[in-house]
């Protein structure tokens, strides 16, 4: 019960920081996982789960009010299920993908609540009482984003034992399937991201990474370091080309603004 309350409170605080405080990192698994893990006493497991979910959600882009899932809800539930029920980390990650849609549903309930509160806030605004309006406005946001936290608390408090019993009753092949699916999900996340940014000119880097991992067995951290160096090389080269273009333009007697160069490209 106590751990369920802590996780639900953490979700509530983080979603307020993300939505009300306009901090775009507050719902990212790489941030949420270690935070929830720290609260539950196992920051290492929380970090590992957050990192894997971050890879899965790399290609997820939320535009305006159109969201595909609630990464904050999914991460909180994945870490909580692993540390509170003891189910395998991979299975918890797979289950959390589906649970993220419950969080998304609760966000729609929140938006409905906000819409219902508009006439109330309008009436308070017409009274001209600034203090009363500020209190009502802040309160309705804090309450509205608490719906997801309530469902999370109920699910973890009342369902932790039931979840554990259900997991224990599952045949081994189902748990094995969930763990296998968890191994495939990061590849899907990277695939979605590559689909968005793919350029035929970049295929050489893709093949280089494949060759280094396959034939030289370079670990992930090593590949990340190599990637940073390649990125910096490209960045410095592009800056040098940009400076050279400006010098040539000045030599010809005219110069394009940065905006004109951007749109010409």
CA-based nearest residue to 159, from 89, 95, 71 = 95
CB 19 within 8 Å of CB 59 = no
- Sequential pLDDT tens for the chain (265 residues): 788 899 999 999 998 888 777 777 888 888 999 999 999 888 999 998 888 888 877 766 665 555 667 888 888 988 988 888 777 777 778 777 777 877 878 888 888 898 889 899 899 888 888 889 899 998 998 998 888 888 888 888 876 566 656 666 767 776 666 656 656 656 666 676 667 667 777 778 878 888 888 888 888 788 888 888 888 988 888 888 888 877 777 776 555 555 555 555 5
56: in domain: yes
One domain, residues 153 and 250: no
Residue 189 is predicted with a pLDDT of: 62
Q: Classify residue 175: in a domain, yes or no.
A: yes
CA angle 230, 235, 239 (to 5 degrees): 150
Same domain, 59 and 88: yes
pLDDT of residue 52: 85
Residue 230 lies in a domain: yes
Measure the CA–CA gap between 213 and 205, rounded to whole angstroms.
12
User: What is the span of the domain harbouring residue 251?
Assistant: 212-264
207 domain-assigned = no
- Residues 102 and 166 reside in one and the same domain: yes
Instruction: Please identify, among 172, 198, 224, the residue that sits at the C-terminal boundary of a domain.
Output: 198
Has this prediction a pTM greater than 0.85?
A: no
Asked whether 1 and 160 are in contact (CB, 8 A), the reply is: no
In-domain check, residue 203: no
- Spell out a b/e string for 93-108, using b for 16 or more CB atoms within 10 Å of the CB, else e: bbbbbebbebbbebbe
Q: Give the number of domains in the chain.
A: 2
**Domain check: are 227 and 185 in the same one?**
no
């Amino acid at each position: 019960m106590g751990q369920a309350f802590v996780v639900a409170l953490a979700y509530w605080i983080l979603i307020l920081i993300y939505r009300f405080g306009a901090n775009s990192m507050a719902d990212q698994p790489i941030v949420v996982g270690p935070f929830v893990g720290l609260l539950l006493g196992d920051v290492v497991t929380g970090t590992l789960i957050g990192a894997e979910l971050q890879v899965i959600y790399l290609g997820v882009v939320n535009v305006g009010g159109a969201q595909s899932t609630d990464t904050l809800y999914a991460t909180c539930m994945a870490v909580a299920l692993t540390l509170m029920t003891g189910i395998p980390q991979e299975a918890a990650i797979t289950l959390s993908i589906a649970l993220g849609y419950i969080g998304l549903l609760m966000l729609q309930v929140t938006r409905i609540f906000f819409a219902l509160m508009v006439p109330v806030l309008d009436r308070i605004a017409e009274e001209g009482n600034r203090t009363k309006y500020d209190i009502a406005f802040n309160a309705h946001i804090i309450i509205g984003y608490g719906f997801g936290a309530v469902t999370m608390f109920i699910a973890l408090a009342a369902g932790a034992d039931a979840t554990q019993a259900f997991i224990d009753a599952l045949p081994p092949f189902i748990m094995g399937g969930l763990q296998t699916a968890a191994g495939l999900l990061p590849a899907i996340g990277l695939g979605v991201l590559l689909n968005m940014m793919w350029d035929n000119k970049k295929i050489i880097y893709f093949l280089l990474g494949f060759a280094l991992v396959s034939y030289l067995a370079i670990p992930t951290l090593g590949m990340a370091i190599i990637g940073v160096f390649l990125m910096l090389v490209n960045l410095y080269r592009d800056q040098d080309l940009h400076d050279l273009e400006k010098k040539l333009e000045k030599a010809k007697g005219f110069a394009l603004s940065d905006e004109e160069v951007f749109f010409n490209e």
